Amino acid sequence: MPVITFANTKGGAGKTTAALILATELARSGARVTILDADPQHWISHWHDISGKVPNIEVISYVTMASIQTHINDNRATTDYFIIDLAGARNTLMATAIGLSDHVMIPIQGCAMDAKGGAQVLELLGHLEEKAGIRIDHSVVLTRVNSLVTTRALQVVKQLLSERAVRVLDTPIIERAAFRDVFDCGGTLQTMDPLRVSNLDKACQNARAFGDEVRQLVPLRLTRNMRRAA
């Protein structure tokens, strides 16, 4: 029952999109997923409302610092993966969610502002390890990447992450219309109409590769609490 939190203190980093892609891919593979929607914009809650029943996915809205632990405890028996989507802000809820996580996913676009927001999350993770002895596994996922062109800004971000020895997923999230349209249409990539959404097959391939990589990185059988007991 791993807890995976998506965090970047800057809004617009592709955090909610990455969280939804992962949740739907995990669910498609048969895992039971509970999404804790802690983003004040509630895009995932809206997606869930217009989607009807999506197999293997439950969404909990209006998550607060006071309620997040209770939501996790109350849904352990029916959940294989928890996905937490946070606001694009540095606050006490972010610190609480990260402290409950088995893995923190840091979405970053190829720009300095996103990299700065990601660096603030990395600083918090470092502080937890240094001051409290709590090491939480984490990775960066590059988002809204142009499939044809690697920009200079993205190259700079990659170099900075490499210099800090930060793990970057091999699978970036490519800029695809389907990843935007799913929030308006509801459902999943697999239920969208390929005649109405451009490059849907490529979006599905990208999402599948992202889900596969995260499943290998955060296997179902291992959570931070289990590792502590080992």
* CATH number where 124 lies: 3.40.50.300
Please give the Cα distance from 1 to 76 (Å, whole number): 7
Is 116 within a domain? yes
Q: How far is CA 55 from CA 13, 42, 47, 164, in A?
A: 27, 20, 14, 39
In a domain, 228, yes or no: no
Predicted TM-score of the model (pTM)? 0.90
Phi/psi region, residue 127 (left: phi>0; alpha: psi -120 to 50; beta: rest), is alpha
Is 229 inside any structural domain?
no
- Beta-carbon count within 10 A of 209 CB: 17
pLDDT of residue 185: 93
Q: What angle do CA 62, 35, 186 make, to 5 degrees?
A: 95
Do the domain assignments include residue 230? no
22: three-class secondary structure by DSSP: helix
* Torsion over CA: 13, 218, 119, 100 (sign): positive
Task: Determine the pLDDT at residue 120.
Answer: 86
Please report, in tens digits, the pLDDT of each residue of the chain (230 residues total). Answer: 899 999 998 877 889 999 999 999 999 999 999 999 999 999 999 999 999 889 999 999 989 999 999 999 999 999 999 999 998 878 899 999 999 999 999 998 866 676 778 888 888 898 888 888 889 999 999 998 876 556 666 676 777 776 677 788 989 999 999 999 999 999 999 999 999 999 999 999 999 999 999 999 999 875 655 444 33
pLDDT of res. 226: 45
Q: How far is CA 129 from the centre of its chain?
A: 21
From 57, 52, 66, select the one nearest 23 (Cα to Cα).
57
Our count of domains for the chain comes to 1
Measured torsion, CA atoms of residues 222, 15, 142, 97, in degrees rounded to the nearest 10: -40
Residue at 101 is within a domain: yes
Query: What pLDDT is recorded for position 228?
Result: 40
The domain of 24 spans 3-223
With respect to residue 31, please indicate whether it lies within any of the assigned structural domains: yes
pLDDT score recorded for residue 230:
35
Nearest alpha-carbon partner for 38 in 12, 64, 5, 14: 64
